[in-house]
């Protein structure tokens, strides 16, 4: 795993015990696998162990919210879920419907379960833009999603004290 080099996010406390789910879309696999690698690398750098990360795949970004809900149903000790996907604009309005539905669905799962569920879905005009945001010149949004889940888990635990 390569280092993520996010100095501003490099010292996020990892509360114990912890269990983090990652649900990854298989569609646009080149991009989503890079997002997953970024997220996992960042979590490991922070001190989360491989055993504390559970990863599952769904066919496309539209299935991410249901996949996140299924993961939470199966593991009541799961502290947060990262949803990783990539939707690229095509010639039809399909992009708009999928992007909005996924965003709404991810938010709904988090609200329904009371657990941080992070939207790590790229919504880009081109594959080039997606690659730039999954490890290219604009960094890796999977890393940002992993940092977000840790910050939200910490917030939730601090508020429950």
Domain spanning 16-160: which CATH class is it, in words?
alpha beta
Check if 94 is active-site.
yes
Six-digit token string for 155? 């917030």
Q: Mean pLDDT across the stretch 64-88?
A: 97
- What residues does each domain of the chain span? 16-160
Question: pLDDT at position 64, please?
Answer: 98
Residue 84 has pLDDT above 80, yes or no: yes
Measured CA to CA, the distance from residue 121 to residue 123 in angstroms comes to 6
| pLDDT tens by residue, 94-149 | 889 999 999 999 999 999 999 999 999 999 999 999 999 999 999 999 999 999 99
Predicted TM-score (pTM) of this structure? 0.92
Question: pLDDT at position 10, please?
Answer: 63
Per the residue annotation, which of 13, 94, 97, 128 is the catalytic one? 94
Beta-strand (E) ranges in the chain?
A: 20-25, 53-58, 80-88, 117-124, 134-136, 139-140
Residue 104 and residue 45 in contact, taking contact as beta carbons nearer than 8 Å: no
Residue 2 has pLDDT above 70, yes or no: no
């Amino acid at each position: 795993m390569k280092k993520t080099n996010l100095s501003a996010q490099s010292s996020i406390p990892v509360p114990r015990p912890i269990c983090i789910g990652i649900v990854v879309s298989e569609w646009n696999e080149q991009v989503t696998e890079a997002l997953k690698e970024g997220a996992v690398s960042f979590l490991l750098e922070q001190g989360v162990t491989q055993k504390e990360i559970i990863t599952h795949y769904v066919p496309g970004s539209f299935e991410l919210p249901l996949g996140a809900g299924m993961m939470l149903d199966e593991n009541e000790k799961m502290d947060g879920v990262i949803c990783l996907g990539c939707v690229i604009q095509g010639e039809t309005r399909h992009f708009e419907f999928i992007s909005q539905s996924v965003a709404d669905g991810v938010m709904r799962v988090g609200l329904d379960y009371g657990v941080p569920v992070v939207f790590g879905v790229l919504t880009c005009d081109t594959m080039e833009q997606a690659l730039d945001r999954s490890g290219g010149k604009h960094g890796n949004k999977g890393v940002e999603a992993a940092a977000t889940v840790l910050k939200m888990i910490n917030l939730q635990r601090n508020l429950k004290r």
